[in-house]
Structure 1
Amino acid sequence: MTMATQGIQNSSTPAGQILEYLLRNTTAGIKDLEDMLGVTATAVRQQLASLSAEGLVIMTRERQGVGRPRNVYKLTERSQSLFACYSDELALDLIHELLETEGTAKLRYLLSRVGDKLAMQYSRQIKGVALGDRILELSVLLDRRGIRADIEDANGVMILHEYNCPYHDLSSVHRDVCEMERDTFSQVLGADVTLGNCIHDGHNSCQFVVNAIPAAGGNRHATSFQPAT
């Protein structure tokens, strides 16, 4: 196991903390990482040099307002793939074979069945009734499965952010996989969920916008965003 894989699996290491920070913040300069780790610039550069050598981070130039652009670091496509949780070459080959032999309609049908089963698995572990509680519990379940997620309250609209795609290789080729995940969350939460920003479009997270409207055919749980007391 390389330091790269160890760093991602253990976010308590300096390398893991840097990768996690870049996953959530897209880019970071040396000073940002100094402050985050509480170490010297030299120590940060040593970590970045190792991560760069393994093809996990690259340096680029970023302009912020007037003045000279600064050097910042960001994740590579390879590191995004390492954060993926379920996708592998076999699954991708199976989808390609299915498309060739059965067509798009059959693929979407099977993805829908998979999404339904995932929704049942999540729902059995979620005890909350209020929508706000269910979103919080879902984010915890995602984290247990290695999916870095958090929740944003945008003026009363709840947004679930996923910073690493659990189906990175699959969804980069077949966006129907993204719709499967959206439908899964909609069923689990019993609310209408829309997919906003997507990692594959260059954003730092996939944003699932949760609307306090019961999903058609979904669970009819309370739609208040306030946690139950």
Structure 2
Amino acid sequence: MNQPKDLSTRNRILQMMKTSGPLSTKEITGQLGITEMAVRRHLGTMERDGLIESKMVRQTLGRPTAVYGLTELAEGMFPKKYHTLTLDLLGELEQECGEDTVNRLFDRRKEKLNRQYEADMQGLDLPEKVRRLAEIQNENGYMTECEQQGDDHFVLMEHNCPISQIANQYNHACDCELKLFESLLDAKVERTECLAQEGRKCVYVIKR
């Protein structure tokens, strides 16, 4: 397998596992042309960092052999353009059925998320709800920070938007997120900055 010379050994191992599947130390050593000790050192570091995981595979003869494969974290390091397919499909739907149909899809997604998370908010006061919302958004990849600026005044900041490419084209997605926050928090929510509108982050001011 030919590898670009500027790739680090670690990245070469990741690419090998991506293209060939789980590999043993012996197989990696043979492909890289370095010592087995060096390979084991790299594998140990990568396993510690959560990029690879090992499992034992039975052989026809002899003892079971350890093989190493990519974790979900490592899979996420490879380029994926899911948003391109989504935008293509939404564009086809809009052309076929109109913008209102696309907007209804975003509305239904908002209602689904509201049903999914409303139980998390039961019995909580506003500060606890805001903190729980920040946790939910962090779990979904939004890189969220929360600041309390008074008893009933909070600022929620999202430094990343996993659907930013879609929201850039379909602003109704952002409107639905705002309404979702209002519903879950049972509070007044104002967006003062938006990644989809050339902001550096999404900023929500929350008041009782």
Partner letter of residue 99 of structure 2? T
How far 1:174 sits from its partner (Å)? 1.2
Structure with the greater relative contact order (CA < 8 A, sep ≥ 6): 1 or 2? 1
Aligned length: 132
Name the structure 2 match of 1:173: 169
CA deviation vs aligned residue, 1:116-144 (integer Å, no higher than 9, x gap): 10111122333552011001011111112
- Secondary structure in structure 2 of the residue aligned to 1:166: coil
Structure 2: any 5+ residue segments left out of the alignment?
Answer: 1-6, 12-76
Partner letter of residue 169 of structure 2? V
Name the structure 2 match of 1:164: 160
Shift in CA distance, 210/95, structure 1 to aligned 2, threshold 3 Å = same
1:1-229 superposed matches below 5 A: 88-155=83-150, 156-212=152-208
Contact persistence 2:90–2:102 (CA under 8 A): yes
Contact persistence 1:147–1:166 (CA under 8 A): yes
Distance in structure 2 (CA, Å) of the matches to 1:86 and 1:193: 31
Contact persistence 1:161–1:206 (CA under 8 A): yes
Distance in structure 2 (CA, Å) of the matches to 1:159 and 1:87: 30
Partner letter of residue 131 of structure 2? L
Partner letter of residue 92 of structure 2? E
How far 1:154 sits from its partner (Å)? 3.6
Distance in structure 1 (CA, Å) of the matches to 2:82 and 2:141: 13
How far 1:87 sits from its partner (Å)? 6.0
Contact persistence 1:194–1:210 (CA under 8 A): yes
Which has more radius of gyration? 2
Structure 1: any 5+ residue segments left out of the alignment?
Answer: 7-81, 213-229
TM-score normalised by L of structure 1: 0.51
- Secondary structure in structure 2 of the residue aligned to 1:158: strand
Name the structure 1 match of 2:36: none
TM-score normalised by L of structure 2: 0.56
How far 1:166 sits from its partner (Å)? 2.2
Partner letter of residue 115 of structure 2? M
RMSD, aligned α-carbons = 2.7
